[in-house]
Structure 1
Amino acid sequence: KQALRPSWSASRPTPAERLRRARRRALCSACRSGGAAEQARSPRRRLEAGRMTSKRKVSYYYDPEIGNFYYGHGHPMKPHRVRMAHSLIVRYGLCNHMELIRPVALSEEMMQTFHTKEYVNFLKHVTPENQENFSREVKTYAFVSDCPVFDRIFDYCQLYSGGSLGGAVRLNHGMSDIVINWSGGLHHAKKSEASGFCYVNDIVLAILEMLKYHHRVLYIDIDVHHGDGVEEAFLTTDRCLTVSFHKHGDNFFPGTGDLEDIGEGKGKYYSVNVPLDDGIDDAAYESLFKPIMSRVMEVYQPGIVVLQSGADSVAGDKLGCFNLTSKGHAECHKFMATFGVPMLVLGGGGYKIKNVARLWAYETGTLLGLEKQMQDDLPPNEFYEYFAPDYRLNIDRIPDLQNKNTREHLEKVRERVMRHLSHIRPVGAQFSERMPDAMSGETASGGRKRRSRSSNGGGDAEEGSGSDADDNDDGEKSDV
């Protein structure tokens, strides 16, 4: 691990901080001894949005190797974007205010807490050179054009998943208040199937780790695409409530996430879907996000939060269709941080890489409470030419993009979601004591609606760098 610790981290903890640590230790001890149900029945403070505190311990996972992975020529998913975001984070001086940690590669045994042994073994051994020898597995595990086999694919999965699981461990033990892993957030991967550019579902792995210490985990997804892989993994349990704000309809990938998809069995009403239409702007998005998430926090009282921060929901994304600004997108982070609940913040989609880098740098500053100190003019950095022609930090809305979300539609969605949330059992009620099916290896659901996935056209990339030399190509039209 490499650490750059803020000056206040070595100071004596305040009484409030000591109390918070003691509560976490008590919760961890109770869960390990089988007392999770008692924790669920005990009274807890009401979670309400408050003011962000500047004394939060923020940890940031990054490995420079992540930018070297390359999905292939023309593929819209470019891990190089994480390296670009990191460059801005460094140039804005944000690393001086948080702990910088290099992730430990996740073992295949840890991957198997969710994924099948056969699937993980295939990931470990398949290469572009030998994939013809795995023709049956390639078809079975859905390694189609949007999920290609590329060099060191298993190393890539180990690296981004290691950051997410490492972050979960730190939060569980009270070592951090907020953990950031922009390379994670690959929410489409299934138990034994690649999907939507995702191979290993680091989110599910992190949540399973959190459930060892917390009785209730809240997952929030603000990617433009429905978080189907995470929802499916926890579809039948009340111990993880999933909330996804996404584009739905018009055969948009993955085709799931209808307003009436609410979970099954003991998990009924614990899957919350907020389907949206093209062109939604900051004001309309906030009119749903804040009241819905306030109600979720009030009735569910999670012990920990996971926020997937897909950048494809901001304006101008190659595969997205929303019209959010960087400030509107970051407002979700700012709002959730005010509840004071430990939070794991992950990346996700995002296919205009200069927008991804700017957004995640800005949201890092937001989580540190330093966004107002970040000048709009970008500081000099090694990827400066990517940010032409304006070289600005902020991402603006597209003025002439129609917002197809009418006031009536938004009100209907809000009312319906609030009605579903009224069925959530209050704190103190009996919750499930067993781990969700995702841990036991059972299938969380039967056949889910899927769309066939096709190839995505894209710009050229520099050889071996994983970067996109023609990022302004708007040729991508298919799914993610």
Structure 2
Amino acid sequence: MESVAHKKVCYYYDGDIGNYYYGQGHPMKPHRIRMTHNLLLNYGLYRKMEVYRPAKANQEDMTKFHSDEYINFLRSIRPDNMVDYTKQMQRFNVGEDCPVFDGLFEFCQLSAGGSVAGAVKLNKQQTDIAINWGGGLHHAKKSEASGFCYVNDIVMGILELLKYHQRVLYVDIDIHHGDGVEEAFYTTDRVMTVSFHKYGEYFPGTGDLKDIGAGRGKYYAVNCPLRDGMDDECYQGIFRPVISKVMETFRPGAVVLQCGADSLSGDRLGCFNLSLKGHGKCVEFLRSFDIPLLMLGGGGYTIRNVARCWTYETSIALNTEIPNDLPYNDYYEYFGPEFKLHISPSNTPNMNSPEYIDRVKSKLFENLRMLPHAPSAPMIDIPPDAVDVEEQEKEAIENEDPDKRISIMASDKSTHKENEYYDSGEEDGVGLSVPPKGTKTTRDVQSYRSAPKRPRVEGGDSGAMDIDESEKKEGGAGDDGKDDGTSTAESHNAAAL
């Protein structure tokens, strides 16, 4: 791990988030966030950072990006009244990849609340790094759900950061293109979006090398299309030079990093071959720039590896070494038979040839050379924060039940409460649900839920077991694109931009 000066880290987690359930056979498992929290708790990482239970994002927060009609729909729809919302469900793309489930709107509030609160903490210079593993849902659009995502917490967090920072950089290492975030800021030069993703016959079907932004935002969308089998060395061979050039040219005041874990080897819906160390190198590299950093979750559908990954990357944020032997935790059996933190890559061939990577890098550098260095933006009166941090913490102390939860300002900063880590017992026990052949999906590309066809290989914890078997073992996995084309975050929130 690169040696970087100690940084103050705050971490957002609500124990209720693991209770939400997308439905039987659905690969998105909010339970993975609870598993992550429990693992990092048992590694003792909570002692080195401030742990907060975030305030729920409200409708006003959400409509800074999303349309009023869409948010009203999310507030109203429930499994027991879906028949009354048939037309709206079709209009807002809810019902297939993005099902209606109990507590849907509250789940969105929790996911977005941590990202907005983290951005506020960074703006107030009360932390150097803010972490919300329940966020990172990068496919949601202004008026549409997509790719398991309903509310785009990332866009909301970036809009908050733009109140204090002239330029914000968004970096996405999920295997899927960060289309919702790119689309939101496609015409502004105050946000640069950089996405490293699988491209081709793969959800969401966007993120071509030629997609570079438009208008004032031309060249501020950076897309790095990659092929199957991407390994650690190859990934760093393009990630580090591209990010270095972006930092040199754009000079952001804050960075948002989406840490989607579906780019790991053995992910149920992924086709890359990264180890935890290779994935974590991206976090380590961005941390080294000493710029305020908001770290978010995202995709990840082999949930034992999601928990491993985000625990490891929390340790990187803290610049703390943790042992490879996993500590005993409430989900210890999920991590067998090795019971180790790190996973071994498989022998999947890397389809990214050196020549291909060189061509992609060359084109990206050519585009970045077209940018003026560090575009300036006139700063206006700063709008009020979305979250009053001090007031929120004060209310938490006044309202909490001391028998159930330790204060967020208590010495150990833990939000652990009795029965917080129980396993709901709602394990799927079935394979992934794939739409019938010929079913029209969100775009005319492969559905998010359809796992890519790839050779079944042996090697380490690479997911070589059959889908049904692993589903029974884990109970599932968990992440996060279509647009009405009418608005970007820039036009929707012109005051902030």
TM-score normalized by the length of structure 2: 0.78
Distance 1:425 1:222, change over 3 A: same
Q: Could you tell me which residue of structure 2 aligns to residue 195 of structure 1?
A: 146
Q: Could you tell me which residue of structure 2 aligns to residue 325 of structure 1?
A: 275
- Rounded to whole Å, the distance in 2 between the matches of 1:459 and 1:247 is 21
Q: Report the Cα offset of residue 389 of structure 1.
A: 1.2
- What is the one-letter code of the residue matched to 2:293? M
Q: Could you tell me which residue of structure 2 aligns to residue 441 of structure 1?
A: none
- Rounded to whole Å, the distance in 2 between the matches of 1:290 and 1:329 is 12
- What is the one-letter code of the residue matched to 2:71? V
- What is the one-letter code of the residue matched to 2:353? T
Q: Report the Cα offset of residue 425 of structure 1.
A: 1.2
Q: Helix, strand or coil: the match of 1:261?
A: coil
The alignment status of 1:303 with 2:253, answered yes or no, reads: yes
- What is the one-letter code of the residue matched to 1:91? N
- Rounded to whole Å, the distance in 2 between the matches of 1:65 and 1:473 is 18
Question: Are the equivalent residues in 2 in contact too, given 1:254–1:450 (CA < 8 A)?
Answer: no
Question: Are the equivalent residues in 2 in contact too, given 1:234–1:267 (CA < 8 A)?
Answer: yes
Aligned-residue sequence identity (percent) comes to 52
Q: Could you tell me which residue of structure 2 aligns to residue 414 of structure 1?
A: 361
Q: Helix, strand or coil: the match of 1:87?
A: helix
Question: Are the equivalent residues in 2 in contact too, given 1:74–1:460 (CA < 8 A)?
Answer: no
Distance 1:83 1:408, change over 3 A: same
Q: Deviations over 1:118-138 (max 9, x none)?
A: 000000010011011000100
The alignment status of 1:288 with 2:238, answered yes or no, reads: yes
Matches within 5 A, 1:69-88: 69-88=20-39
- Give ranges in structure 1 of 5+ residues lacking alignment: 1-49, 436-447, 462-466
RMSD: 2.5
Task: Name the stretch that deviates more: 208-217 or 52-61.
Answer: 52-61
- Rounded to whole Å, the distance in 2 between the matches of 1:392 and 1:455 is 28
Q: Helix, strand or coil: the match of 1:345?
A: strand
Q: Helix, strand or coil: the match of 1:241?
A: strand
Q: Could you tell me which residue of structure 2 aligns to residue 453 of structure 1?
A: 447
The alignment status of 1:426 with 2:366, answered yes or no, reads: no
Q: Helix, strand or coil: the match of 1:272?
A: strand
- Rounded to whole Å, the distance in 2 between the matches of 1:166 and 1:52 is 28
The alignment status of 1:119 with 2:66, answered yes or no, reads: no
Question: Are the equivalent residues in 1 in contact too, given 2:175–2:270 (CA < 8 A)?
Answer: yes
- Rounded to whole Å, the distance in 2 between the matches of 1:198 and 1:189 is 5
- For residue 384 of structure 1, the aligned residue among 332, 338, 341 is 332
Distance 1:331 1:67, change over 3 A: same
- What is the one-letter code of the residue matched to 1:108? Q
Q: Deviations over 1:110-154 (max 9, x none)?
A: 100000000000000100110110001000000131100000000
Q: Deviations over 1:340-364 (max 9, x none)?
A: 0000000000000000000100010
Q: Could you tell me which residue of structure 2 aligns to residue 223 of structure 1?
A: 174
Q: Report the Cα offset of residue 53 of structure 1.
A: 3.0
- Rounded to whole Å, the distance in 1 between the matches of 2:331 and 2:233 is 32
- Rounded to whole Å, the distance in 1 between the matches of 2:108 and 2:145 is 12
The alignment status of 1:137 with 2:84, answered yes or no, reads: no
Q: Report the Cα offset of residue 109 of structure 1.
A: 1.1
- Rounded to whole Å, the distance in 2 between the matches of 1:252 and 1:472 is 25
Question: Are the equivalent residues in 1 in contact too, given 2:203–2:448 (CA < 8 A)?
Answer: no
The alignment status of 1:352 with 2:302, answered yes or no, reads: yes
Distance 1:433 1:258, change over 3 A: farther
- Rounded to whole Å, the distance in 2 between the matches of 1:454 and 1:56 is 36
Q: Report the Cα offset of residue 75 of structure 1.
A: 0.3
- Rounded to whole Å, the distance in 2 between the matches of 1:81 and 1:153 is 17
Matches within 5 A, 1:228-243: 228-243=179-194
Q: Could you tell me which residue of structure 2 aligns to residue 206 of structure 1?
A: 157
- What is the one-letter code of the residue matched to 1:354? R
Question: Are the equivalent residues in 2 in contact too, given 1:74–1:459 (CA < 8 A)?
Answer: no
- Rounded to whole Å, the distance in 2 between the matches of 1:55 and 1:454 is 39
Q: Could you tell me which residue of structure 2 aligns to residue 97 of structure 1?
A: 48
Question: Are the equivalent residues in 1 in contact too, given 2:262–2:270 (CA < 8 A)?
Answer: yes
- Give ranges in structure 2 of 5+ residues lacking alignment: 382-441, 452-465, 483-497
Distance 1:127 1:459, change over 3 A: farther
- For residue 272 of structure 1, the aligned residue among 189, 199, 222 is 222
Question: Are the equivalent residues in 1 in contact too, given 2:242–2:365 (CA < 8 A)?
Answer: yes
Q: Helix, strand or coil: the match of 1:242?
A: strand
- What is the one-letter code of the residue matched to 1:167? G
Distance 1:411 1:459, change over 3 A: closer
- Rounded to whole Å, the distance in 2 between the matches of 1:92 and 1:357 is 12
- For residue 401 of structure 1, the aligned residue among 348, 357, 360 is 348
- Rounded to whole Å, the distance in 2 between the matches of 1:90 and 1:334 is 21
Q: Report the Cα offset of residue 235 of structure 1.
A: 0.2
- Rounded to whole Å, the distance in 2 between the matches of 1:187 and 1:312 is 13
Question: Are the equivalent residues in 2 in contact too, given 1:279–1:401 (CA < 8 A)?
Answer: yes
Question: Are the equivalent residues in 1 in contact too, given 2:55–2:113 (CA < 8 A)?
Answer: yes
Question: Are the equivalent residues in 2 in contact too, given 1:256–1:450 (CA < 8 A)?
Answer: no
- Rounded to whole Å, the distance in 2 between the matches of 1:449 and 1:253 is 8
Q: Report the Cα offset of residue 312 of structure 1.
A: 0.1
Q: Helix, strand or coil: the match of 1:100?
A: strand
Q: Deviations over 1:415-460 (max 9, x none)?
A: 1001111112113x5447799xxxxxxxxxxxx9763737559978
Distance 1:455 1:414, change over 3 A: closer
- Rounded to whole Å, the distance in 1 between the matches of 2:168 and 2:471 is 36
Question: Are the equivalent residues in 1 in contact too, given 2:147–2:448 (CA < 8 A)?
Answer: no
Distance 1:280 1:209, change over 3 A: same
- What is the one-letter code of the residue matched to 2:316? T
- What is the one-letter code of the residue matched to 1:330? G
Question: Are the equivalent residues in 1 in contact too, given 2:301–2:476 (CA < 8 A)?
Answer: no
Distance 1:324 1:277, change over 3 A: same
- Rounded to whole Å, the distance in 2 between the matches of 1:473 and 1:309 is 19
Q: Report the Cα offset of residue 317 of structure 1.
A: 0.1
- Rounded to whole Å, the distance in 1 between the matches of 2:45 and 2:95 is 39
- What is the one-letter code of the residue matched to 1:395? I
Q: Report the Cα offset of residue 252 of structure 1.
A: 0.2
